[in-house]
Structure 1
Amino acid sequence: MITTHQGCFLKLEELQLTGDYGESVFPPNILWRFPNLEKLEFTHASYEEIFSLEEVEKHAERPAQIKCLKLLENEKLKRIWKQHSKLDLIIQKLEVLLVWNCGLTDLLPPSAFFRNLKILHVEDCHKLTSILTSSTAESLVQLTEMRIISCDILTEVVARDEGDITKYNIIFHKLKHLTLRSLSSIKNFCVENYTFEFPALEDLRMFCCTEMEIFCPGVLSTPKLNENADSSQEDGSSPSTRPLE
């Protein structure tokens, strides 16, 4: 069990938790006991869930300050947060989410708004079939870098919200770097007939995605990738990026 004393470590900005604390749910009240906590890391933890709805609701008067969340080798972890929990209290300031070798079955829940998320890295998560839903994707207005690596059963990055028949036009306004690597089951970035716009995308890296024939079946816009490819062809150099087709 994790215990803290009120008033201790009030200036603490970074917390790393390693090992088994004998609990299935992390007590999120710690986020508010350390009012300056900005970086939170879990490694080899026994938690099945990080943030519970009941504990978060107790602190509804003010959001947490977490800007960076790292989840490393948490094989028992099934989810970070419940779909209908008051996520805004936790993720309002989240800028970096790094997940490696975790047992998650879902990552970013539907209708969650990650307005400040800038960096998303997911690697070796072999129970994920997708990374986020279409409604969540619309909220990623600050995202600049996305890396998805070695997730064996992942079939798409953006999935349709269950029961939602909306035909989305999703714009990743600031995404500059996108890496999809060693995704042996991925069919498309999104299998739905959505429109995707990547106005800032400069660097696309796709390796060992053998099942992917097209990036997405809908309309796709990547103006900077196409510009870079054209410039490279004109001056005879090798392009550092490849245009999407």
Structure 2
Amino acid sequence: MLRDLEELRIEYCGIGVIVAKDQVSESVTPLLKFPRLTFLELSSLENLRNFYPQKHTLEWPHLYRLSIRSCDELEIFEKEVSSSLEIHEEGSSLDSKYPLLSQCKVLLPKLEILRLSNLIGLIPLIWEDQLSHNSFRNLKTLFVESCGFVKLVPLRVLKSLNNLEELEVRECDTLELVFDFEDLNDYKEAESSSVIVPLKKLTLCGLQKLKNVWSNHYKGDVSFPSLRSVHVSYCESLTSLFPASIAKGMLRDLEELRIEYCGMDVIVAKDQLSESVAPLLEFPKLTFLKLSSLKNLRSFYPQTHTLEWPHLYRLSIRSCDKLEIFEKEVSSSLEIHEEGSSLDSKYPLLSHGKVTYNLEKLTLMGKGAEVIGSGQLSMYCFPKVKVLYLHVGYDESKSISYKLLKSFPNLEELRLRGHIKEALGGGDDAHLPIKLSLDEIYNITSLVPLLVSPPNLTHLHMVSCYELTTLMTSSVARSLVHLTSLSISNCDGIEEIIWKEEGEDDDDEEFVFSKLQHLKVERMPKIRSILSWTH
């Protein structure tokens, strides 16, 4: 009677079984058929032990998506291979558990999405040697959260996941290795071809004991040519992300790489084989690189190397203060680093003229922001950067110089944040942005040096600039003839937006901000007036 059922979701219920036992004694094993079921979700069913309380056969040939979360009493996979297509054995007691899924020849031929959560010790049963390779042949997305296992995907299973495109693993406290190539030698003896994994997106988060993503035994016979997005965060025990053998030419489709709050000191581990020439690490399609709160990170690669990412569009580096971002001197070759460096050497991430050409958005927080903000990086040029965000001085107050703008000839928007004690002019040849945003500026008491130079300024946005009492003088206001948007929020000390300078008469007043289209003033408890005199 449920032949048309397509979706079944059960959450936070006290049920012990999903289908109750028939009151009439059954002489044959009942067949429970769901020919059109495509989505099954079982979540937080703490008492659930079985789908049906006695021996039975289940069929759902078109199951497309399966999600099981926090059903600790439910046995999902058989521990041994059944001798028939039926899921359960004869003579089981009433307290027996009947595994939800059989290890028959074709288990879930249509399954594309598998979500497993809060299921301790489950993963090894999924990947039993006896499990048919056809069981997950159409699986595209595997999501695993809070499950107990040490190694996730062995090679023998990986080579059968012919359609796996997305893998996401979160909060698995015992996981030490994601892709296990321990059995690579056995595979090579049996198979002559290499393993090609179609994975496109990899997300790893909150894996406290993760030591390696790829096994150290990797030897180049397994490739990930379709990988486009990698996001790794809160993996404190991880010392590197990629083996050199994967990073060398096997990440040509990688478009996005984000690494946050990890313990790694390098991103690409050193090749186990000695190298006679500096390796070339190519990322021809990479457009977004984010490195955030990596307190141990010293280098992208621990030895002399060449980095190429010609289409890098967006770069964000926050709180990676051991990482050398910029070169101190111009290199005499196209290679980023010099020969004969010690293992403790730092290898600057960016060459002064090679890898920055197509960059349009640059975000720096910490040491890198202070180097840029000081205006002392004249050998670098970022010809296409349109948006620059600098967060400086979270340990002590720093100065910002408009000289920095000489490295950004086409800058449109400058965003500043942090402990800035003063702003210094950069001279007439500094290209000034048309948008200026100030967010949580703690120490600066006057914006006049920042606002005197930019006559082309069209947008000025300020949030939480606590020590300011006024925004600008009337003469500065008159110079901002192109200003169209002014937004001021949560600046507790500001009493006046514009004040009349000493010696200025009311006869000197003229209308300011003639092109202003948008004015926003909010959460300003001391504000008395926009102007210090009446028009």
TM-score bucket of the superposed structures, by smaller chain: 0.7 to 0.9
Equivalent residue for 1:107, pick from 213, 224, 235: 213
Equivalent residue for 2:238, pick from 128, 136, 143: 128
CA distance in 2, matches of 1:136, 1:114: 8
CA distance in 1, matches of 2:202, 2:257: 10
SS in 1 for 2:385: helix
> Normalising by the residue count of structure 2, what TM-score does the alignment of the two structures yield?
0.40
Measured at CA, do residues 238 and 165 of structure 1 come closer, stay the same or move farther in structure 2, by a change above 3 Å? same
CA distance in 2, matches of 1:98, 1:165: 31
Q: Higher helix fraction: Structure 1 or Structure 2?
A: 1
Equivalent residue for 1:78, pick from 152, 167, 176: 176
SS in 2 for 1:234: coil
Aligned partner letter, 1:178: L
SS in 2 for 1:140: coil
Measured at CA, do residues 30 and 214 of structure 1 come closer, stay the same or move farther in structure 2, by a change above 3 Å? farther
Measured at CA, do residues 31 and 147 of structure 1 come closer, stay the same or move farther in structure 2, by a change above 3 Å? farther
CA distance in 2, matches of 1:234, 1:210: 27
In the TM superposition, residue 96 of structure 1 has moved relative to its aligned partner by 0.4
Name the residue aligned to 1:212: 323
Q: List aligned pairs for 1:34-73, cutoff 5 A.
A: 34-53=136-155, 55-56=156-157, 63-73=161-171
Q: List aligned pairs for 1:133-212, cutoff 5 A.
A: 133-138=243-248, 139-151=250-262, 153-166=263-276, 167-212=278-323
% identical aligned pairs: 25
Measured at CA, do residues 31 and 206 of structure 1 come closer, stay the same or move farther in structure 2, by a change above 3 Å? farther
Measured at CA, do residues 26 and 183 of structure 1 come closer, stay the same or move farther in structure 2, by a change above 3 Å? farther
CA distance in 1, matches of 2:177, 2:300: 22
CA distance in 2, matches of 1:129, 1:147: 15
Measured at CA, do residues 230 and 38 of structure 1 come closer, stay the same or move farther in structure 2, by a change above 3 Å? closer
Name the residue aligned to 2:197: 92
SS in 1 for 2:384: helix
Name the residue aligned to 2:126: 27
Q: Is the 8 A contact 1:192 1:218 kept in 2?
A: no
Measured at CA, do residues 219 and 231 of structure 1 come closer, stay the same or move farther in structure 2, by a change above 3 Å? closer
CA RMSD of aligned residues (A): 2.8
In the TM superposition, residue 47 of structure 1 has moved relative to its aligned partner by 1.0
Q: In the TM superposition, what whole-angstrom CA distance separates every residue of 1:40-69 from its partner, at most 9, and x where no partner exists? A: 01100101111234x43xx96x55311000
Name the residue aligned to 1:243: none
CA distance in 2, matches of 1:230, 1:207: 19
1:228 aligned onto 2:380:
no
Q: In the TM superposition, what whole-angstrom CA distance separates every residue of 1:156-184 from its partner, at most 9, and x where no partner exists? A: 11121223325211110100000000111
SS in 1 for 2:124: coil
Name the residue aligned to 1:12: 111
State which structure, 1 or 2, has the greater radius of gyration over its C-alpha atoms. Answer: 2
Aligned partner letter, 2:205: W
Query: Any gaps of 5 or more consecutive residues in structure 1?
Result: 241-245
Name the residue aligned to 2:53: none
Measured at CA, do residues 218 and 73 of structure 1 come closer, stay the same or move farther in structure 2, by a change above 3 Å? closer
Measured at CA, do residues 163 and 17 of structure 1 come closer, stay the same or move farther in structure 2, by a change above 3 Å? same
SS in 2 for 1:46: coil
Deviates more, 1:2-11 or 1:122-131: 2-11
SS in 2 for 1:47: coil
Q: Is the 8 A contact 1:69 1:98 kept in 2?
A: yes
> Normalising by the residue count of structure 1, what TM-score does the alignment of the two structures yield?
0.83
In the TM superposition, residue 238 of structure 1 has moved relative to its aligned partner by 2.7
Q: Is the 8 A contact 2:109 2:134 kept in 1?
A: no
In the TM superposition, residue 24 of structure 1 has moved relative to its aligned partner by 6.8
Measured at CA, do residues 231 and 22 of structure 1 come closer, stay the same or move farther in structure 2, by a change above 3 Å? closer
Where has structure 1 moved over 6 Å in runs of 4 or more?
none
SS in 2 for 1:81: strand
In the TM superposition, residue 154 of structure 1 has moved relative to its aligned partner by 1.0
Q: Which has the higher contact order (CA 8 A, sep 6+)?
A: 1
